[in-house]
Amino acid sequence: MPRYSLTRSQLYELVWAMPMQKLAKAAFKMSDVAAAKYCRSANVPLPPRGYWNKLEAGHKVTRVPLPPRRLGQSQWAGPDAYLTSDLRALISNLDEFHPLTEPIEPMIEEFEKRVNKIKVLKSFKVVHPEVQKVLNIDEKRQKKIDASDPIFRRFLPQPIHITPAHRRRLRIINSILNVCESLGGGGNVQDDHATKFWASPGHGGWSLRLSEPSKDGLLVLTAPGDGKAIPDVRWKDGPSGKIEDIIHEIVVEIGVRRERSLRLEELERIEATKKERAQRQAEIAAAVADRERRAKERAEAEAKAQVELLLSSARALRDANDIRSYVAQAQAQLIGKMPTADIDCWAIWALAIAEHIDPLSSGAAADQIMNVAHKGLGGT
């Protein structure tokens, strides 16, 4: 059974076309509870309790509309579906391409409103678990140093985030990750020095780099580009303000970059799919052409073989008739000159040979006629 990746709108069409328990088993090979979780994670609304009973009883029911795709949210939803012909008939545009063409400005505006509602904590009042891991590493290192002989302390791994500038770096990361957490996302710190971290404001995310403090204690936060169409973006401490003052702006930029990356990835996926389909069609056309060529070669070889058999049969008939004529002349000329019994014995043998090689008498001609007629080699 063919498997299909479904967009949010296609999944929405399915979940509002039949009860989830039946759909989950038929299309996703999982429980209705698991399938419902996929729908909720893709922001695909489900029919409320009692919906199908009301529909079956003829009562008026209301379908909850599919919410618009949010900034940075993938249009693909749930696991691949196993679709029978009946299920495929319920979905529109199943085999079409789906470029992300929604206007991006309204999506950014909606995202900004959600981000700006979140309070930015610039202290460690609420410590994100990823930042806490970094603090714990420093704490363990300090404890090990305190418990060791003073002579060897300088050889042990040192705590990193103990200066005000380094603590400030962690507070910036903590603020960004907490805002992302409030949006339904999160992130992670990717090294002990907290120079690289991943921030996800709900739907995908972006890798960020936070510099070590300069001599002046200034920091630079970088969102690297993708090496294609999305450039690097940097936020620096400066006369106009510090990085922690623009946390909302940074989180919005992460969402925008994720959205632009998604759109580029979808275009690349579409182009790759088109090339794959074109290659598959070319392979099919080549296979068909090869089969036709081999069939033509077999037909030509068969026709040639039948012609050779025809000529061979004609020669055999001439040889058989020549033998019969020769026997008749020999009998006429040798009678009285040789014992009649010897002549008759030889004639019987010679005529048997003629009968054997004669295609008309042996049935070979009839076989070829039937073979040619059956294969249509005569053109009728």
- Cβ within 8 Å of residue 121, ≥6 positions away: 174, 175, 178
Per-residue pLDDT 10s for the chain (380 aa) are 778 899 999 999 999 999 999 999 999 999 999 999 999 999 999 999 999 999 999 999 999 999 999 999 999 987 899 998 899 899 888 878 888 999 999 999 999 999 999 999 889 999 999 999 999 999 999 999 999 999 999 899 999 999 999 999 999 999 999 999 999 999 999 998 999 999 999 888 999 999 999 998 899 999 999 888 899 999 999 998 999 999 999 999 999 999 999 999 999 999 999 999 999 999 999 999 999 999 999 989 988 998 999 999 999 999 999 999 999 999 999 988 899 999 999 999 999 999 999 999 888 888 888 888 887 766 55
CA nearest to 221, candidates 166, 160, 169: 169
Query: CA 367, 371, 374, 378 torsion: positive or negative?
Result: negative
| Residues found in the chain | 380
The pLDDT, as a whole number, for residue 372 is: 83
Other CB atoms closer than 10 Å to residue 85's CB: what's the count?
8
Give the integer Cα–Cα distance in Å for 23 and 78: 13
Residue pair 87/81 in contact by the 8 Å Cβ criterion? yes
Give the integer Cα–Cα distance in Å for 90 and 92: 7
The pLDDT, as a whole number, for residue 219 is: 96
Other CB atoms closer than 10 Å to residue 24's CB: what's the count?
21
CA nearest to 13, candidates 23, 3, 28: 23
Q: What's the token pair of residue 57? A: 């009883």
Q: What's the token pair of residue 196? A: 């690289």
Residue 207: φ, ψ to 5°:
-85, 135
Give the integer Cα–Cα distance in Å for 281 and 283: 5
* E strand or H helix that includes residue 81: strand 76-82
Alpha helices in the chain (DSSP H): 8-15, 20-23, 32-41, 51-56, 85-88, 104-116, 129-147, 164-182, 247-334, 340-357, 359-362, 364-375
- Cβ within 8 Å of residue 72, ≥6 positions away: 111, 201, 202, 203, 204, 255, 256, 258, 259, 262
Mapped onto helix, strand or coil, the DSSP state of residue 152 is: coil
Q: Residue for token digits 């012909």?
A: 85
